[in-house]
Amino acid sequence: MKIRSKSKYVKWGATVTICFIICALFIYVLFFGSDLSDKFKHILSKLSPIITGLCTAFILTPLLNRIEYNIVRRIFKAFNVKISPKSRKVSRFISVFFTSVFFLGALYLIIHLFLSQVIPSVISFSNNFNTYVNNINNWINKLYANNTETGNEVLQYVSKYSKELQSWLSNKLLPQTSVLLKTVTKSLLGILKGLSHFIVGFIISIYVMASKETFAGQAKKITYALFKRQTANIIINNFRFVNKTFAGFISGKLIDSFIIALLCFIGTSLMQTPYGALISLIVGITNIIPFFGPYIGAIPSLLLVFFVNPARPSNYISLLIFIILLQQFDGNILGPKILENKTGLDGFWVIFSITIFGGLFGIYGMLIGVPVFAVIYAAFKSYVSVKLREKKLPVTTAEYIDLAALDENRKKRIFIPEYKMKKADHGKSIYGAFFMNKYDEHLLNDSSVDDEYLNKYYEKTGDYNNDEPEGS
């Protein structure tokens, strides 16, 4: 009795202490929130190399796994190399090396194209902007030579939006590119200083990729130490699913977009499209956004070519055809090969997640909306499946598509028939109705109706597997 009373007092004391700590934290955040925010930002700045390394390793791990298990291990198997701890270390070292080479090579190519092609293209477009506007005005005058009233209205819109675009280019974009060029070309020391966090983070990512199984094992050990076995199994399984969804989707999208941008640059160079590098950058970046990305990237790319010479429709029509072919190749061949439907969502839910998260969080929401919603969707689906199993009901959606109702007494599933069977007094087929009202519900307890319906259904379809036995 004394032990129970002491336990009661301990619980009350712990509750009061926790409430006191929460209230103290709330008061501190309320009155010293700015100081806390500054300290938090300071801690994040110190941890930024570690965060960069972990994020880099997270993104590169799927590529590492593909190189190791699909290439290196197969080569070892072809040369009859036995699987041993030593051979595993060698294969991991080779895989990490080639993954790092691919990553650094892609990064160098992006920076090189950006500095040598993209920035000069932006500066050239800004310098020639007035010329391009005059070209458009002349083209509109010729186009509406017989309808000057409409032509003048179009010219007013062109003049209005061209001034806004020129103001944005002159006041925002060009100053930023000038600052970037000055920073990059200032000195080698300045470059290394700016990339110091990235260099340290990249080294950390190499260590993480080389020992990822060890880190995963340590995390599992801590999980089993802190939680019950069943809870720990659920946590580990859910984290495995989240990792597979996020890592597979994000890294796959980045690789896919890089390849598309490279192919676009090659294609635009062969077609001698104006500002091909800038168009390739736009197409590659917007391709990261699922579903809407290709359309978002195509519009400014076509407008860019249209601005240069609107009197030559072959330029932007050929670019439009090329972008459509490129996106078809990506959507039907390259994308499925790389992504392999990592999210498990169909088209509707992909559009739904992009629309919701894009509306809430902008461009970042459009980038991560699909994997985040995939995790939420999977969690809700798992919850629904658990509840259905508790009620001893099937969990697959196909079982419910043609279902009209469940007969609670005989555990029989009553299906929507292909033809009208028995009509209620109000002249509607009870089993063919989509919604069942109270007037119709009593018919489900009428055994003659149910048995007659089910017997005719069985005779017609030959399907005798729709009954669920008692206690199933």
Question: 313 in a domain, yes or no?
Answer: no
- Whether residue 417 sits in one domain with residue 382: no
Considering the domain architecture, whether residues 375 and 407 belong to the same structural domain is answered as no
* Per-residue model confidence (pLDDT) at position 432: 35
Domain that holds residue 438: 398-461
Q: Would the pLDDT of 378 be above 90?
A: no
| 12 found inside a domain | no
The answer to pTM > 0.75 is no
Same-domain status, 407 and 386: no
Segment (H or E) for 467: none
Task: Kindly state the average pLDDT of the residues 345-364.
Answer: 83
Do residue 409 and residue 453 come from a single domain? yes
Answer with the one of 391, 412, 427 that is the final residue of a domain: 391
Helix axes 85-113, 276-286, angle to 10 degrees: 130
- Residue 455 resides in a domain: yes
Q: How confident is the model at residue 11 (pLDDT cuts 50, 70, 90)?
A: low
Render pLDDT for 114-145 as a digit per residue (tens, 0 to 9).
888 888 888 887 788 778 777 777 777 776 66
Pick from 320, 164, 146, 342: nearest CA to 240: 342
What is the maximum alpha-carbon separation in the chain? 102
Using the 3D structure, point to which of 375, 391, 407 is the last residue of a domain.
Answer: 391
Q: Of residues 268 and 408, which shows the higher confidence score?
A: 268
Residue 95: the pLDDT is: 94
Q: Band of the pLDDT at 422, cuts 50, 70, 90?
A: very low
Instruction: Cite the beta strand spans of 286-442 per DSSP E.
Output: 403-407, 412-415
Say if CB 149 and CB 80 are below 8 A apart.
Answer: no
- In whole angstroms, give the CA distance from residue 371 to residue 59: 14
What is residue 470's predicted lDDT score, i.e. its pLDDT?
Answer: 39
Tokens representing residue 301 in the block: 């790319």
Q: How many domains does the chain have?
A: 2
Pairing mode, strands 403-407 and 412-415: antiparallel
Task: Give the model's pLDDT for residue 429.
Answer: 36
Share of residues in the chain with pLDDT > 70 (%): 69
Using the 3D structure, point to which of 391, 421, 449 is the last residue of a domain. 391
Q: 166 lies in a domain? A: no
Q: Is the pLDDT of residue 161 over 70?
A: no
Residue 166 has pLDDT above 70, yes or no: no
- With respect to residue 411, please indicate whether it lies within any of the assigned structural domains: yes
- Within 10 angstroms of residue 408's Cβ, the number of other Cβ atoms is 9
pLDDT above 70: residue 186 = no
| 85-89, 91-95, 321-325, 444-448: segment of lowest average pLDDT | 444-448
Residue predicted with more confidence, 155 or 125 = 125
436 & 409 share domain: yes
d(CA 216, CA 323): 42
Q: Is residue 383 part of a domain?
A: yes
If asked whether residues 352 and 386 sit together in one domain, one would say yes
Residue 464, pLDDT score: 43
| Residue 196, pLDDT score | 78
CA–CA distance, 11 with 248 (Å, rounded to integer): 45
**Distance, C-alpha 58 to centroid of its chain:** 15
Please tell me the predicted confidence (pLDDT) of residue 208.
Answer: 92
| Spatial contact of 205 and 53, defined as CB atoms under 8 Å apart | yes
Token duo for residue 371: 């994997």
For residue 106, CA distances in Å to 25, 259, 266, 281 come to: 46, 10, 15, 13
DSSP 69: I
pLDDT at 430 over 60: no
Residue 46 lies inside a defined structural domain of this protein: no
Examine residue 372 and state whether it is found in any structural domain, yes or no.
Answer: yes
pLDDT surpasses 90 at 220? yes
